[in-house]
């Protein structure tokens, strides 16, 4: 403080000078850059300070006459500071007002929030609670006189129809929003959101601006409020895309009007899309980001609702909003985010996720930044896998879901859930499989048909549904089929498995041929003898050992010794091949087979 407080003697200080000055005041030169509001807090000479952006406080300051409203609620207990952009000027103003009002318990900053202070942290904290409670009580009194957002204009669609809307239109929405940068989308239809999007005043109020300038880093200045027919399900995808593009064009005009030399335009597409009768779609680089946007905008709705009870909602004028949205000191926060990972902004589906290979693939994709739907017949295992991987990643990247690849209803339900959670699909790792050990003359027809159903038809049904969405998204896509070395080098008493996997390989080639014009690739991985964590091998190990005339305990060693490299093939080896084929590193490769078998000359692709 001895170093910081002399800055109060300055009459003016530019942002650049302030940043440089504070940097020189650091006790540790490697510490993060001090907050934009460091001087604001430093110049309030009390021991403890709490600075919050409580919804109730913002509701009072975002009205047409915020000073008179705050005077009525707080009297002389709080100083009212008219809007000033954060930085030296606001800090100087605060210091001046604190000196003029020595008995004040804090200050309310227009469009900004509440600062409470005291000579100890308990006093400061209790004053924060006291002032927020006063604001809440005042708002509750006002609420009885008016309907929220002027009352309802339309009714929400039933839950089933809301989900039908998302299933029908979100691929095209993602396509349009991703014109700037590929985005993960998340759907929210909470009661508060539905009340807002279905209200009379919602469309107009939403376009006034943010509840506080800090929100713009996440939500942008305003959302895109779609205008749809009375029955939203009767909307046309092209019209929805046109409105989203119109929003982006409007942002470009806004940027061109206020820009200064040296600036660059941020992604112009909306972070929040409001849909009357349906709910809200938010976007981000990953699900966590999209959920944060949703949470922040729900706070904005809370502020807007309360402000309309008190008076009418008023935000910053566009020029002031632009000053914050494109303020270098705010944009600096974005530069502090870690670099995006290889699979950031990508959505993957893994079938058969709970086997040894499937688990390794899910772990690799999540670690590389993908959002993953880990599916398996065993829901409990799929959810446990998701929980374990998420704990390791410290992020909700993986969702566990039950999927029966031979059940079309189950497949549709899985993709509908993916659209609700993530907004689309970019990568399918088709891994689910079964195997039967028997010579052709002893092979039961039911087992033949079961192998064909899972190892061929299942891959077809999942691919078919994914392709429909990928083509509507227009963002390309990748398929990686976990096939087997048996496609090229079949083994005795493995006819059902080998034949059905050969059909899967041919399916992959056809997808590569048909889907290339849409930027969609399909490749295959041919593993051999991957025992670790494999439920399949647990079922067939003894029978397969008899085929080769070895003891069951010796089978894994038998597989290792028969390959050229004399290497054991592990799930992580297969997962690394998948990571390569699903990524931009293999962007010029489609219809290919990548063996992961230690080198089997009879299984060399030809």
Q: What is the pLDDT of residues 398-412, one digit of tens each?
A: 999 999 999 999 999
Which pLDDT belongs to residue 409?
A: 98
The residue with greater pLDDT, 427 or 542, is 427
pLDDT in tens, 505-534: 999 999 999 999 999 999 999 999 888 887
What mean pLDDT do residues 38-60 have?
Answer: 95
Cβ atoms of 470 and 518 within 8 Å: the answer is yes
405: left (phi over 0), alpha (psi -120 to 50) or beta: alpha
- pLDDT at residue 14, as a whole number: 92
What is residue 606's predicted lDDT score, i.e. its pLDDT?
A: 80
Tokens found for residue 452: 């064909």
Percent of the chain whose predicted confidence (pLDDT) is above 90: 87
pLDDT of 457 strictly over 80: yes
pLDDT of residue 602: 94
Average pLDDT over residues 432-455: 95
- What are the boundaries of each domain within the chain? 5-145, 159-335, 347-530+569-596
pLDDT digits (tens, 9 = 90+) for 362-373: 999 999 999 999
Mean predicted confidence (pLDDT) in 479-500: 94
The token pair that represents 27 in the structure block: 């006790």
DSSP state of 131: H
Its CATH architecture, for the domain 159-335, is 3-Layer(aba) Sandwich (3.40)
Residue 192 Rama label (left phi>0; alpha psi -120 to 50; beta): alpha
CA-atom Rg of the chain in angstroms: 30
Q: Under 8 Å CB-to-CB from 189, ≥6 apart: which residues?
A: 156, 159, 162, 278, 279, 280
Q: Give 309-323 pLDDT, tens digit per residue.
A: 999 999 999 999 999
Give the pLDDT of residue 513.
98
- Band (557; pLDDT cuts 50, 70, 90): confident
**pLDDT of residue 469 exceeding 90:** yes
Which pLDDT value is given to residue 147? 87
CB 501 within 8 A of CB 527: no
Q: Is the pLDDT reported for residue 12 higher than 80?
A: yes
5-145 and 159-335 have identical folds: yes
- Name the token pair of 375: 């599916």
- The CATH architecture annotation of domain 347-530+569-596 reads 3-Layer(aba) Sandwich (3.40)
Does 536 or 295 have the greater pLDDT score?
295
Specify the pLDDT at position 451: 96
| Confidence at 329, pLDDT banded by 50, 70, 90 | confident
**The pLDDT of residue 73:** 97
pLDDT value at residue 550: 86
pLDDT of residue 171: 98
Q: How many CA atoms lie within 13 A of 199 on its CB side?
A: 23
pLDDT number for residue 45: 86
Q: What is the pLDDT of residue 532?
A: 81
> In 3D, which of 457, 465, 435 has the Cα closest to residue 541?
435
pLDDT at 29: 84
Residue 244: CB atoms within 10 A of its CB come to 21
**At a CB cut-off of 8 Å and minimum separation 6, what does 293 contact?**
218, 219, 271, 272, 282, 283, 284
DSSP alpha helix (H) spans, 371-407: 379-393
Q: Which two tokens stand for residue 511?
A: 């997808």
- What is residue 380's predicted lDDT score, i.e. its pLDDT? 97
Stated as kind and residue range, the H or E segment containing 289 is helix 287-310
Q: What is the mean pLDDT of residues 86-103?
A: 94
Across all residues in the chain, what is the average pLDDT?
94
- pLDDT tens string 386-396: 999 999 999 89
Q: What is the pLDDT of residues 218-275, one digit of tens each?
A: 999 999 999 999 999 999 999 999 999 999 999 999 999 999 998 999 999 999 999 9
Residues carrying an active site annotation: 497
Q: Would you state the pLDDT for residue 555?
A: 85
pLDDT at 144 over 80: no
Residue 81 has a pLDDT of 97
DSSP label at residue 553:
G
Mean pLDDT over 322-350 rounds to 88
Residue with tokens 């003359």: 441
More confident position, 147 or 191? 191
- Give the pLDDT score at 328: 85
Residue 331, pLDDT score: 78
Residue 582 φ/ψ, nearest 5 degrees? -90, -5
Average pLDDT over residues 80-103: 94
Q: Tell the residue number behind the tokens 């605060």, with chain if given.
A: 94
CATH architecture classification, 5-145: 3-Layer(aba) Sandwich (3.40)
The confidence score (pLDDT) of residue 365 equals 98
Does 535 score more than 80 pLDDT?
Answer: no
């Amino acid at each position: 403080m001895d170093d910081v407080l002399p800055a109060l003697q300055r009459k003016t200080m530019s942002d650049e000078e302030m940043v440089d000055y504070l940097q020189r005041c650091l006790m540790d030169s490697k510490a993060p850059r001090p907050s934009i509001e460091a001087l604001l807090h430093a110049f309030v000479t009390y021991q403890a300070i709490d600075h919050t952006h409580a919804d109730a406080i913002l509701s009072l300051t975002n009205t047409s006459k915020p000073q008179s409203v705050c005077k009525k609620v707080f009297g002389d207990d709080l100083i009212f500071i008219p809007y000033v952009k954060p930085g030296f000027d606001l800090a100087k103003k605060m210091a001046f007002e604190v000196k003029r009002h020595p008995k004040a318990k804090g200050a309310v900053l227009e469009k900004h929030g509440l600062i409470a202070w005291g000579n100890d942290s308990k006093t400061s904290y209790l004053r924060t609670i006291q002032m927020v409670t006063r604001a809440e009580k005042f708002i509750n009194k006002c609420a009885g006189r008016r309907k929220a957002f002027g009352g309802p204009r339309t009714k929400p669609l039933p839950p089933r129809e809301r989900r039908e809307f998302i299933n029908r239109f979100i691929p095209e929405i993602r396509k349009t929003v991703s014109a700037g940068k590929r985005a993960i989308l998340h759907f929210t239809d909470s009661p508060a959101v539905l009340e807002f999007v279905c209200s009379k005043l919602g469309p107009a109020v939403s376009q006034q601006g943010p509840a506080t300038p800090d929100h713009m880093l996440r939500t942008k200045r305003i959302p895109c409020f779609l205008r749809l027919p009375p029955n939203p399900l009767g909307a046309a995808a092209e019209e929805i895309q046109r409105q989203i593009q119109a929003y982006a064009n409007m942002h470009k005009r806004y940027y061109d009007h206020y820009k200064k030399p040296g600036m660059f335009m941020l992604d112009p597409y909306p972070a929040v899309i409001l849909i009357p009768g349906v709910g809200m779609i938010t976007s981000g680089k990953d699900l966590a980001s999209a959920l944060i946007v949703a949470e922040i905008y729900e706070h904005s709705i809370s502020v807007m609702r309360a402000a309309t009870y008190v008076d009418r909602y008023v935000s910053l004028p566009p020029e002031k909003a632009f000053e914050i949205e494109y303020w270098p000191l705010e944009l600096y926060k974005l530069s502090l985010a870690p670099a995006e990972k290889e699979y950031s902004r990508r959505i993957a589906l893994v079938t058969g996720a709970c086997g040894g290979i499937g688990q390794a693939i899910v772990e690799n994709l999540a670690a590389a930044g993908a959002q993953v739907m880990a599916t398996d017949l065993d829901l409990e295992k799929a959810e446990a896998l998701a929980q374990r991987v998420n704990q390791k990643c410290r992020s909700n990247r993986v969702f566990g879901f039950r999927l029966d690849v031979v059940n079309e209803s189950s497949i549709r339900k899985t993709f509908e859930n993916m659209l609700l959670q993530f907004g689309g699909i970019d990568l399918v790792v088709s891994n689910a499989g079964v195997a039967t050990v028997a010579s052709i003359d002893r092979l039961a027809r039911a087992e033949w048909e079961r192998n064909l159903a899972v190892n061929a038809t299942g891959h077809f049904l999942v691919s078919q549904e994914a392709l429909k969405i990928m083509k509507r998204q227009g963002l390309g896509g990748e398929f990686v089929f976990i096939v087997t070395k048996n496609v090229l080098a079949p083994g005795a008493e493995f006819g059902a498995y080998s034949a059905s996997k050969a059909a899967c390989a041919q399916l992959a080639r056809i997808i590569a041929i048909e889907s290339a014009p849409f930027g969609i690739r399909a490749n295959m991985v041919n593993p051999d003898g991957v025992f670790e964590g494999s439920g399949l091998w647990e079922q067939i190990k003894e029978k397969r050992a008899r085929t080769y005339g070895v003891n069951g305990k010796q089978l894994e060693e038998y597989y290792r010794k028969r390959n050229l490299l004399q290497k054991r093939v592990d799930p992580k080896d297969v997962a690394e091949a998948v990571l390569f084929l699903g990524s931009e590193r293999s962007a010029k490769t489609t219809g290919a087979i990548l063996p992961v078998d230690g080198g089997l000359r009879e299984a060399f692709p030809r």
